[in-house]
Structure 1
Amino acid sequence: MLQTDRETLDVQRTHAVRGRFNAWLLEVLDGYQHRKYAALKREMFGGLSHTVLELGAGDGANFRYLAPGTRVIAIEPNVHMHRWLRARAARHGIDVDVRAATAEALPLADRTVDAVISSLVLCTVPDPARVLAEVRRVLRPGGRYWCIEHVAAPEGSALAGLQRALRRPWRWMFEGCETCRDTARLLREAGFASVEVTPFTLPTVFAPIRPQIAAVAVR
């Protein structure tokens, strides 16, 4: 078995142990993340309505940016997040359908949704290319995938060196989160009709996740 395969299995095997910690951590950091991302998320997600598929819905932090009455199919494999997810849905008037599934195997038929969203999720999944293939599969023609992701810093930079140095402990602590992923390239290679990527730097004390992108991909 390859080393990367063993690491993926380790993450999956210990998910239940760290799941409670990460569910708690998301709640603790909710206000901080809202301050950092609110304007961008309102711009990206605020106009969506009807039915939205959210990958890695976590504790429902993105529900505040959606219109009340929106139906959200919330994919969240960490069951320790679900009580907060449902509570936030009730608070923001979201009709939520919580599914304890993975983004690599979405429990939806082909071409069934017009909008998919995610934030800081493609960094964590073991097989992001497979996730993007699943997104394309469930989107109707013309449907859009909106995402925000932290990404690898420019090669040769001090920050890239820090990301590499912290990769393994960061991955272990945060349920598989990768610090060095070239997500923009993955999006462009996924077969979407068009992909628009906007790089930005997040002003945060968490240095490994400062380089980020906001992207929209059209089916």
Structure 2
Amino acid sequence: MTSDRQTTPDWLKSLFAWGMAKANTTDNSAIKLHGDSSYETMAQLKQAFFTDLDGRVLEIGPGAGANLCYYPPNIHWIGIEPNPFMHSYLQEEAERLGLDNIELRLGSAERLDVEDNSIDVVVSTHVLCSVTDVATTLQEIVRVLKPDGRFLFIEHVAAECGTWTRRIQDGIEPVWKTIFDNCHPNRETGEILENVGFQSIDYQQFNLSFPIVSPHIAGVARKTTVEIKQFN
């Protein structure tokens, strides 16, 4: 995939971080899920996904820490966040929640500063829409996961080709990604996810009321149970 990430000025990164921190106060119970979802609200979905995790949990692009309140307190949480202006908000949110076993690192999802086969669970919520290279990011996730490790994701994806929603997404993309830190509303993440080497992928699709970032997919991808070694 050709890189299209633009250099975002610091003032815009700072403003975006402030906005994300304010969004932490949003009641996810008010975000209704429509369609075939097993859950009625975003809060129910996140509670089902995140409250029973254990071990080493790596979250890519955690923003200002919107997911921290859903994690159990005994995990070893590692966050890799490329926007340095997010970090103070993340630390404040972790302190507010009493989470002390955390590591916060500056870096990108395309080159994770994490050892091979060392992570129990990787989490991504509304991040794959904005990375420079989705396939490379997913390959990195496969690399750092332990055998049988899980990748949990909640992502908005492109609407079906030919629909009015897809036409809107395609038309607004140039402006949208400039305002919202490289977010692509028309990215076909699901198709890429199915072609990077996970042993199994299970996800459901649902819609939100705001069509630009709808539909969504949410699910789990699992790494192979045995590490495959390559021999020359």
Match of 1:169 in 2: 175
SS of 1:177's partner is coil
Match of 2:37 in 1: none
Amino acid in structure 1 at the alignment position of 2:207: T
Shift of residue 15, structure 1, vs aligned partner: 4.9
Judge conservation of contact 1:184–1:197 (CA < 8 Å) in 2. Answer: no
Instruction: Note the residue ranges of structure 1 that are not aligned, 5 or more in a row.
Output: none
Higher relative contact order (CA 8 A, sep 6+): 2
Amino acid in structure 1 at the alignment position of 2:72: A
Match of 1:42 in 2: 47
Identity of aligned residues (%): 36
User: Which one of 112, 123, 130 corresponds to residue 117 of structure 1?
Assistant: 123
Distance in 2 between the 1:33 and 1:197 partners?
A: 24
Amino acid in structure 1 at the alignment position of 2:51: G
User: Which one of 192, 209, 222 corresponds to residue 218 of structure 1?
Assistant: 222
User: Which one of 60, 63, 70 corresponds to residue 65 of structure 2?
Assistant: 60
Distance in 2 between the 1:84 and 1:50 partners?
A: 24
Distance in 2 between the 1:103 and 1:60 partners?
A: 16
Q: How many residues align?
A: 211
Shift of residue 90, structure 1, vs aligned partner: 1.4
Amino acid in structure 1 at the alignment position of 2:24: D
Distance in 1 between the 2:64 and 2:52 partners?
A: 21
| Pairing 1:28–2:22 present | yes
Greater helix fraction, Structure 1 or Structure 2: 1
SS of 1:215's partner is strand
Shift of residue 100, structure 1, vs aligned partner: 0.4
SS of 1:109's partner is coil
Amino acid in structure 1 at the alignment position of 2:215: P
Distance in 2 between the 1:88 and 1:30 partners?
A: 9
Instruction: Note the residue ranges of structure 2 that are not aligned, 5 or more in a row.
Output: 32-41, 224-232
Distance in 1 between the 2:27 and 2:126 partners?
A: 11
SS of 2:59's partner is strand
How large is the RMSD of aligned CA atoms in angstroms?
1.5
Match of 1:133 in 2: 139
Shift of residue 153, structure 1, vs aligned partner: 0.7
Match of 1:98 in 2: 104
Distance in 2 between the 1:77 and 1:16 partners?
A: 12
Q: Deviations over 1:139-191 (max 9, x none)?
A: 01100000000000111111111101110000111111001111111111011
Shift of residue 32, structure 1, vs aligned partner: 3.0
| Pairing 1:76–2:44 present | no
SS of 1:168's partner is helix
Distance in 2 between the 1:82 and 1:173 partners?
A: 20
Using structure 1 for the length normalisation, give the TM-score: 0.92
